[in-house]
Amino acid sequence: MSGQFITIEGIECVGKSTNAKFIESTLNKKGYKTLVTREPGGSGVGEKIRNILLFEKKDTLSPMTELLLLFAAREKHINEIIKPALESGTWVICDRFTDASFAYQGFGRELGFDKVNKLKVLIQKDFEPDLTILLDAPLEVITSRRKLNPNDRFESEDRKFFERVRNGYLELAQIFKDRIKVIDASKDINDVQDQIKTLINEMVRDKL
């Protein structure tokens, strides 16, 4: 039996990594093998590409270069790490995936949905997450939680950029209603994790 592919999305500081670990421990308690990974990154080359994407000087990468680098890393990640793990029965939990390219490059950088979608079709064909958890919170909540890394090309963006990204994510959740589940991440952590647990329990039940 193959594993399931779960992705976690949202803008900076909504608690993606904490909740990735929470999903992992929830699944481990039920006896499932898991792998937590992330994008950009996840493979050796992917982590090198991540360094370029995050730490190159601000104006050296055009939005399209950025998008192509993300998909270059993603192609390796899918074929070398994610698919083999799923095929061996491991559940894969990925901190960001292609929805981030729609939200950040499509909406944030204003490349538009279609360009991102063309690359998605080329690289992924019909490969999609089984479940995407979108942790959503107003920018005010994020700003108060944020520890900025001023050298990171994304975190040094302005408020308007993050508004486009957040609204982009919410638009994606409308388009892909069956796959993307939105959770209010401004709530207390226990409340957020109760909602996540419910989604995971439903998923496990459906696979039995």
Q: Can you give the binding site for ligand TMP, defined by CB under 6 A?
A: 12, 38-40, 70, 96, 100-101, 104-105, 154
Nearer CB in complex with ligand TMP: 90/105: 105
DSSP string, the chain: ----EEEEE-STTSSHHHHHHHHHHHHHHTT--EEEEESS-SSHHHHHHHHHHHHS-TTSS-HHHHHHHHHHHHHHIIIIIIHHHHHTT-EEEEES-HHHIIIIIIIIS---HHHHHHHHHHHHTT---SEEEEEE--HHHHHHH----TTSTTTTS-HHHHHHHHHHHHHHHHHTTTTEEEEETTS-HHHHHHHHHHHHHHHHHHH-
CB of 52 to ligand TMP, least distance (A): 11
**Which of residues 38 and 164 has its CB atom nearest to ligand TMP in the complex?**
38
Helix (H, G, I), strand (E, B) or coil at 125: coil
How many helices (DSSP H) and strands (DSSP E) are in the chain?
9, 5
CB of 38 to ligand TMP, least distance (A): 6
The nearer residue to ligand TMP, 70 or 185, going by C-beta atoms, is: 70
| Smallest separation, CB 1 to ligand TMP (Å) | 28
Residue 150, both tokens: 């001023």
The nearer residue to ligand TMP, 149 or 201, going by C-beta atoms, is 149
- What is the nearest approach in angstroms of ligand TMP to the Cβ of residue 87? 23
Nearer to ligand TMP, 4 or 105 (CB): 105
DSSP label at 18?
H
**Smallest separation (angstroms) from ligand TMP to the CB of 36:** 12
Q: What's the closest the beta carbon of residue 205 comes to ligand TMP, in angstroms?
A: 29
Closer CB to ligand TMP, 12 or 136, in the complex: 12
